[in-house]
Copies of this chain bind each other. A is one copy, B any other.
Amino acid sequence: MQKKRTTLKDIARATGVHVSTVSRALDPTERKSITPEVVAKIQAAAERLDYRPNRIAFGLRTNRTMTVGVVIPDITNPIFPPILRGIESVLEPLGYASIIVNTDSEREREVRLLEVLRDRGVDGLIHAAVLRSDPSIAKAAQDGLSVVTLNRRVENSNIPYVINDEDMGICEMLRHLTKLGHRRIAHLAGPQDLSTGQLRLAAFRNAAKRMSIDIDPQLIVTAMRFDEDEGARCTRELLASGNDFTAVLCANDRLALGCIDVLRENGLDCPSDISVSGFNDMPFLQLARPRLTTVRIQQYDAGITAASILLRLMNAGADDDIPLETVLPVELLERESTGPVAAQKR
A98 to B24, CA, bound (A): 32
Residues facing B in A284-324 (CB within 8 A) are 284-285, 287-289, 317
Contact among B55, B121, B287, B317 with A55 in the assembled complex (CB-CB below 8 Å): B121
Known contacts A75-B75, A75-B81, A84-B75, A120 near B2 by CB under 8 Å: no
CA distance A145 to B284 in the complex (A): 37
| Complex alpha-carbon distance, A85 and B75, angstroms | 8
With a cutoff of 8 Å between Cβ atoms, the chain B residues found around residue A74 in the complex are: 85
Distance in angstroms from A337 CB to nearest chain B CB is 13
Within 8 A of B (CB), among A239-290: 257, 283-285, 287-289
Nearest CB on B from A109, distance (A): 10
Q: Which residues of B contact A82 (CB under 8 A)?
A: 76
Mark A60-96 against chain B: 1 for CB-CB distance below 8 A, else 0. Answer: 1001010000000011101001101100100010000
> Copies of this chain, how many?
2
Which of B1, B60, B97, B98 contacts A144 (CB under 8 A)?
Answer: B1
Interface size on A, residues (CB 8 A): 46
* Residue A155, interface by CB 8 Å: no
A120 touches B76 (CB 8 A): no
Bound-complex Cα distance A225 to B68 (A): 32
Q: Which residues of B contact A143 (CB under 8 A)?
A: 2-3
Instruction: Determine whether the beta carbon of B56 is less than 8 Å from that of A144.
Output: no
Distance A303 CA – B188 CA, assembled complex (angstroms): 35
Q: Report B-chain residues with C-beta under 8 Å of the C-beta of A59.
A: 56
**Which B residue's beta carbon lies closest to that of A3?**
B143
A52 located at the interface, meaning its Cβ lies under 8 Å from any Cβ of chain B in the complex: yes
Is there an interface contact between B85 and A81, defined as CB atoms closer than 8 Å?
no
* Stretch in contact with the other chain, from A111-119, A201-209, A214-222: A111-119
Kindly list chain B residues whose C-beta atoms are within 8 Å of the C-beta of A2: 63, 143-145
Q: How far is the CA of A257 from the CA of B287 in the complex (A)?
A: 9
Whole-angstrom CA separation of A82 from B74 in the bound complex: 10
Distance (Å) between the CB of A257 and the closest chain B CB?
Answer: 7
Binary contact readout A8-24 vs B (1 if CB under 8 angstroms, 0 otherwise): 00000000000000000
With known contacts A1-B144, A3-B144, A75-B84, A99–B99 Cβ distance under 8 A: yes
Q: A76: which of B53, B257, B283, B317 is its contact (CB, 8 Å)?
A: B283
A39 within 8 A of B: no
